[in-house]
Amino acid sequence: MALTSVSPLTPQTFAQSDDEERVFDLQDEYVYGRNRGPKLGYIKPEVFEPLSDPLYRAGYKNYRSVGVTGEQQKMTAMKRTESLGSILACADGWFWPFSRTARKNEPAGLEIEILKSVAEKHNLDVEMMWVNMSTRFGYGAPGGAFDLSINRGLCDLVLGLTVTGSDEHQLDPSEVIYTKPYMSTGFVLVTRGAIPGLTSLDDVKRMNIKIGLPAYSPMSDYADENDIPHETFFQNFRVIDAMLDGKVDAAMIWSGAISQAKLNRPDGDLRMVEGYIPIPEMRWDSAWVLKNTETEFKKFIDEAFEEMLESGEIKRIVERYGMPFFPPTN
Predicted confidence (pLDDT) at residue 7 exceeds the cutoff of 80: no
Q: What is the pLDDT of residue 298?
A: 97
Q: Please tell me whether residues 118 and 152 are part of one structural domain.
A: yes
Which tens digit of pLDDT belongs to each residue from 284-314?
Answer: 999 999 999 999 999 999 999 999 999 999 9
What lies within 8 Å, CB to CB, of 308 at 6+ separation is 114, 117, 118, 182, 314
Q: Please tell me whether residues 141 and 203 are part of one structural domain.
A: no
Q: Report the alpha-carbon distance of residue 11 to residue 323 in Å, rounded.
A: 8
CB 188 within 8 A of CB 255: yes
Q: Report the alpha-carbon distance of residue 149 to residue 268 in Å, rounded.
A: 38
Domain contains 126: yes
Q: Please tell me whether residues 97 and 179 are part of one structural domain.
A: yes
Q: Report the alpha-carbon distance of residue 123 to residue 125 in Å, rounded.
A: 7
Tell me which DSSP letter residue 306 carries: H
The domain in which residue 74 lies consists of 54-183+285-320
Domain contains 262: yes
Domain contains 205: yes
Domain contains 87: yes
Domain contains 269: yes
Decide which of 56 and 136 is more confident. Answer: 56
CATH number for the domain spanning 230: value is 3.40.190.10
Which tens digit of pLDDT belongs to each residue from 63-84?
Answer: 666 788 889 989 999 999 999 9
Decide which of 19 and 1 is more confident. Answer: 19
Q: Report the alpha-carbon distance of residue 265 to residue 261 in Å, rounded.
A: 5
Q: How many domains does the chain have?
A: 2
Q: Please tell me whether residues 168 and 109 are part of one structural domain.
A: yes
Q: Please tell me whether residues 179 and 315 are part of one structural domain.
A: yes
Q: Report the alpha-carbon distance of residue 317 to residue 24 in Å, rounded.
A: 12
Domain contains 47: no
Decide which of 102 and 284 is more confident. Answer: 284
Q: Please tell me whether residues 61 and 176 are part of one structural domain.
A: yes
Q: Residue 303: which H helix or E strand, with range?
A: helix 295-311
Q: What is the pLDDT of residue 93?
A: 76
Q: Please tell me whether residues 305 and 278 are part of one structural domain.
A: no
Output the pTM of the full model: 0.77
Residues facing residue 183 across a β-bridge = 286
